Amino acid sequence: MIWETVIGLETHVELATRTKIFCGCSTSFGAPPNTHCCPVCTGMPGALPVLNRRAVLLAVRAGLALGCTVSRRCAFDRNNYFYPDLPKAYQISQLYLPLCRDGAVDIGGGKTIRIAELHLEEDAGKLVHDPWTEQSLADFNRCGVPLIEIVTRPDFSAAEEVIAYLEKLKLTLQYLGVSDCKIQEGSLRCDVNLSVRPAGSRELGTRTELKNLGSFKAIARAIDYEARRQIELLEEGRPVVQQTRRWDENKDATFPMRSKENAQDYRYFPDPDLPPLELEEAWLDSLAAAQPEMAWEKAARYQTQWGLSADDARTLTGRKPLADYFEAVVELGAPPRRAAGWVLGQLLAALGARGLEAEHIPLPPAALARLIHLVETGALNRNTAARVLEAVFDAGGDVDGYVAAHGLGQISDPAAVEEAARAALAANPKALADWRAGKGKAKGFLVGQVMARLQGRADPALVNRAVDALLEESK
Amino acid sequence: MEFYNLTALELAAALKKGEVSVAQAVQAARARMEARREDNAFLTPLSPAPESIDLDASPLAGVPMAYKDNICTRGVPTTCASRMLEGFVPPYDAAAAEHLTAAGAVCMGKLNMDEFAMGSTSETSCRGPVRNPWDPQRSAGGSSGGAAAAVAGGQVWYAIGSDTGGSIRQPAAHCGVTGMKPTYGAVSRYGLVAYASSLDQIGPIARSAADCAAVLDILRGRDRRDSTSVELPGGPLLDALTGRVKGLSIALPEQYLEDGLEGGVAAAVREAADTFRALGARVETVSLPALDWAVSAYYILACAQASSNLARFDGVTCGRRAPEGRDLAQLCAASRTQGFGREVKRRLLLGTFVLSHGYYDAYYKKALQAAALIKDGLNRTLEEYDLILSPVAPTAAPRLGESLSSPLEMYLSDLYTVPANLAGLPAVSFPCGLDGEGMPVGVQLMGRALEDAAVLNAAHAFQLATPWHKMHPEGGKRP
């Protein structure tokens, strides 16, 4: 039998707010445990939530970019369950009246994924298990970090589509400034709902939910594994059990989670501490009008406005920090195509050699713009400029200081070049003889010798001219 | 000078004039707390030694008072009269406590109550029941029983309680003092340990409506930490107390005066209606059919919200942790089994049940709809009438031990007080007589949302014309 896989996604994305969704604590990642906490986010008796307006704004931006209808009136509900990483024993979420509904994402290849809803909720804390002391410790720093949950319809049929959707989602949210979408830091997390059915069937099979997917690679592998597992079961005439399964990266397989975690009754009800959220039409309109330029829009503009190739435009816009950097360099006066060449060439190479991400480029855009300017005006030659970039890359980017300190400025004094050329010719009588004998290559050798005497800093055109003149003279 | 039975405003005036010092007032309160120790009104008595109280900070600056023990006080144990919160010392003040401290209030301690405010007799406290200062064999009412008893017994001049379904008004009635549940949101709930968030409201218990107005003037105000808080319009409530009710229209729901009401209570309420008539108000009986569902709707909403609000006491963060928990589920179950008393458990189970999968629509949603109907009905009546007059409780204070055996009967006794909570309306309870056994009886006035001043003013007018609020449990009237 031919089987087809049906997949829906629930993606949780941490919003890039400075403070938590219901209190003023910092959301920054990596702080010492329990240092970003207060009575509100640790659920102390009597503490009350106050909605972070910025979180609403970012969620609305995301909803608009995903083609959703934004509800004029939404509300918050309590999702009740006991777990030590949830100090209130309920998560504030949106079940009955979510913020956004009915969106769509074009993932290319003529395929569109429908978004069922996008809602706001708060993150839980983290448990740290210490195998040596057999203790579990709770870190509440992440409690109350704002999340949006984006729920798709079951519109995917393969892992590749899921990855294409997630890449597009990530790029979209990064461009909106809604989230940094770092899957390793947990700011983008994805649960997969998957079932299989005979090809052509219209009924959905029994689904399983896959959790603990820590990378796009893990997501793709887990989907392939789980689809195969379900198909094997069905082909053996055994049923698929509806359950939540955990992806084990090391064993490359999914395993059922404890049955208790499968039998939750979340007892949702409207949170009486938060009045329904009413959004004004005018505010929504102003947000819709102010949506930032998306990656694909930027790429098109780079081609039409600045004449970049489609490939270069796509690579530059593939990571928002890189596009931002590139635009900053252009903004400072660098010719766009030259700037693109430097960013995609030396800059990416320097990043790669250091294992750095585009959001952590140590070299200020102004330094690269200055370097390009020096090359354009002939003050530095290109090879020297590449060396300077490498030298100042991690050191604050003082291009002029480094060039001056190391005497790297281009030598464009014709007298100095002529002197070096005379010395080179005098020192290489064999080359001169070869040239006279009609061996054209000998000139190249002599030019190289002159350049070497000038530590490679001479203006190549000047060197060529000086060598030509002396050869003429010696005829 | 026996100034312990002055009103709070009278004491404040004496303090401002220098006739009494704050230290003397504190000393007097301490002496009364000692004398009335058997009432068991205090869970955590304090001996404050205030050095620099600014007597101009508010009309009540320097007056000793106390808090119900579900209002968080920085550095002072806040236990909700539950084993669950033994040893809990909040690192923050409730908004109400912040306001009062800034207003020069002198805190004499934390008051006994029903465990987590669940009860109508203050008998569910893990520290034993509060005794009624009028008769030690009787309950002080609940859940703010300690607050009402402390004020009635002359231990403090006013107290801060909380009212979810009558928890300020009913004990005030049973102890012969005045208690005010403000409009929902008029006082920030920040720092009030939540029972039922959509119904809970902090308010004063004092010896007169004017005292209540002065306290509410301190408590009131929009607080950005409580998203449900609202600003009461208008100037100081104290300034709005004209003492005139001439021309006001007052509705008296007829079903409230029919079955279930004890004879002495019915007579006292009718007499109160006559007093208002004599003062120039128009009092008419009306029918309010939706009220029949009030108690059922109230218990569904309150228990459901409580099951969520109290779920945080799971043995992990603050609160009791059972020593023998071997795994997570056991730790949680054992901590809750040991930490909560019977009535709290009963309500949490009820609440968990009504929110369970498949029951939400049948119970919680329906209760929300019933509450909306009740609110509509009351608001329609209040379009026609300025105030609604009713009993506070069907009987005077019950004997200790009588109610616990029959929780349903205890729940039904909340009939008159829960509608104000369901509708978010201001309501005041004040003494209007004694029953045949010499126990105080209270009457309630409910008004339009945000018109707390009108409610307090009518009670004030009544008190200008009657002696009941001056009755003292230790014999006769106050001066």
Of A433 and B430, more confident: B430
B-chain residues within 8 Å CB-CB of A43? 312, 317
- The C-alpha atoms of residue A8 and residue A116 are separated, in whole angstroms, by 10
A-chain residues within 8 Å CB-CB of B328? 83-84
Taking chain B (479 residues) in runs of 10, the rounded mean pLDDT of each run is: 83 96 96 96 95 94 98 98 96 97 98 97 97 97 97 97 98 98 98 98 98 98 97 97 97 83 89 97 89 93 98 91 85 94 97 94 96 95 97 95 83 92 98 94 98 98 96 67
Q: What confidence score (pLDDT) does residue B1 get?
A: 46
Nearest to B111 by CA among B188, B29, B54, B176: B29
B-chain residues within 8 Å CB-CB of A80? 307-308, 311, 355
- The C-alpha atoms of residue B177 and residue B166 are separated, in whole angstroms, by 14
Q: Which residue has the tokens 């909403």?
A: B301
B-chain residues within 8 Å CB-CB of A88? 311-312
Selecting among B68, B110, B403, B413, the annotated active-site residue is: B68
Q: Are B468 and B431 in contact (CB under 8 A)?
A: yes
- Cβ–Cβ of B355/A80 closer than 8 Å? yes
Q: Which of A243-252, A272-281, B295-304 has the lowest mean pLDDT?
A: A243-252
Q: How far is CA B220 from CA B16, B30, B184, B225, in A?
A: 23, 28, 11, 14
Tell me yes or no: is domain B3-290+369-470 CATH 3.40.50.720.
Answer: no
Of A219 and A383, more confident: A219
Backbone angles phi, psi at B107, to 5 degrees: -85, 120
Q: Are B185 and B152 in contact (CB under 8 A)?
A: no
Q: What confidence score (pLDDT) does residue B477 get?
A: 47
Q: What is the pLDDT of residues A81-137, one digit of tens each?
A: 999 999 999 999 999 999 999 999 999 899 999 999 999 999 999 999 888 888 889
A-chain residues within 8 Å CB-CB of B90? 39, 44-46
Q: What is the pLDDT of residues A165-176, one digit of tens each?
A: 999 999 999 999
Q: Are B112 and B122 in contact (CB under 8 A)?
A: yes
Q: What confidence score (pLDDT) does residue A260 get?
A: 53
Nearest to B431 by CA among B202, B272, B277, B278: B272
pLDDT at position A289 over 60: yes
Backbone angles phi, psi at A33, to 5 degrees: -50, 140
ipTM score over 0.90, yes or no: yes
- Cβ–Cβ of A45/B352 closer than 8 Å? no
- Which of B227, B308, B352 is nearest residue A51 as measured by Cβ atoms? B227
Q: What confidence score (pLDDT) does residue B478 get?
A: 46
Residue B477 DSSP label = B
Q: Which of A37, A44, A140 to mutate to test the interface with B (most CBs of B within 10 A)?
A: A44
Of A22 and B402, more confident: A22
Quick check: A20 contacting B, CB < 8 Å?
A: no
Instruction: Establish whether B366 is a catalytic residue.
Output: no
Name the burial class of residue A212, with classes exposed (0-12), middle (13-18) and buried (19+) by CB atoms within 10 angstroms of its CB: middle
Selecting among B120, B122, B162, B167, the annotated active-site residue is: B167
Residue A122's beta-bridge partner residues?
Answer: A146
Q: Are A90 and B311 in contact (CB under 8 A)?
A: yes
What are the domain boundaries of chain B? 3-290+369-470
B310–chain A nearest CA distance, Å = 8
Instruction: Establish whether B68 is a catalytic residue.
Output: yes
Nearest to B201 by CA among B233, B171, B236, B229: B229
Instruction: Establish whether B82 is a catalytic residue.
Output: no
Question: H helices within B356-467, ranges in order?
Answer: 366-384, 407-412, 418-423, 452-465
- Cβ–Cβ of A90/B198 closer than 8 Å? no
Residue A19 DSSP label = B
Averaged pLDDT, A206-212: 93
A-chain residues within 8 Å CB-CB of B356? 265, 267
A270–chain B nearest CA distance, Å = 10
Residue B40: which residues within 8 A CB-CB, separation 6 or more?
Answer: B112, B127, B128, B129, B130, B131, B146
Quick check: A268 contacting B, CB < 8 Å?
A: yes
- CA B470 to mean position of chain CA atoms: 19
Selecting among B143, B229, B335, B413, the annotated active-site residue is: B143
Domains by residue range for chain A, with CATH: 3-283 (no CATH), 295-405 (no CATH), 414-474 (1.10.10.410)
Q: How far is CA B61 from CA B24, B99, B105, in A?
A: 14, 12, 6
- Which of B189, B228, B364 is nearest residue A275 as measured by Cβ atoms? B228
Q: What is the pLDDT of residues A169-203, one digit of tens each?
A: 999 999 999 998 988 888 999 999 999 999 999 99
B-chain residues within 8 Å CB-CB of A39? 90-92
- The C-alpha atoms of residue B26 and residue B48 are separated, in whole angstroms, by 7
Q: What angle do CA A397, A401, A404 make, to 5 degrees?
A: 140
Exposed e or buried b per residue across A356-368, where buried means at least 16 C-beta atoms within 10 angstroms of its C-beta: eebeebebbbebb
Q: What confidence score (pLDDT) does residue A395 get?
A: 82
Instruction: Decide: helix, strand or coil at residue B129.
Output: coil
A84–chain B nearest CA distance, Å = 6
Q: What confidence score (pLDDT) does residue A263 get?
A: 62
B interface with A, Cβ–Cβ below 8 Å: 71-72, 78, 80, 85, 88, 90-92, 94, 189-194, 196-198, 224-228, 304-305, 307-308, 311-312, 314, 316-318, 328-329, 332, 352, 355-357, 360, 364, 368
Q: Which residue of B has its CA nearest to A78?
A: B308
**Average pLDDT score, chain A:** 92
- Cβ–Cβ of A44/B318 closer than 8 Å? yes
Q: Are B389 and B272 in contact (CB under 8 A)?
A: yes
pLDDT at position A441 over 90: no
Quick check: A46 contacting B, CB < 8 Å?
A: yes
B252–chain A nearest CA distance, Å = 31
Q: What is the pLDDT of residues A31-74, one digit of tens each?
A: 999 999 999 999 999 999 999 999 999 999 999 999 999 999 99
Question: In this structure, what token pair is assigned to residue B281?
Answer: 């108000």
B-chain residues within 8 Å CB-CB of A271? 197
Q: Which of A48, A50, A271 to mutate to test the interface with B (most CBs of B within 10 A)?
A: A48
Q: Are A115 and A86 in contact (CB under 8 A)?
A: no
Nearest to A162 by CA among A99, A124, A217: A217
- The C-alpha atoms of residue B80 and residue A7 are separated, in whole angstroms, by 49
- The C-alpha atoms of residue B86 and residue B79 are separated, in whole angstroms, by 6
- Cβ–Cβ of A45/B312 closer than 8 Å? yes
Question: H helices within B176-262, ranges in order?
Answer: 209-219
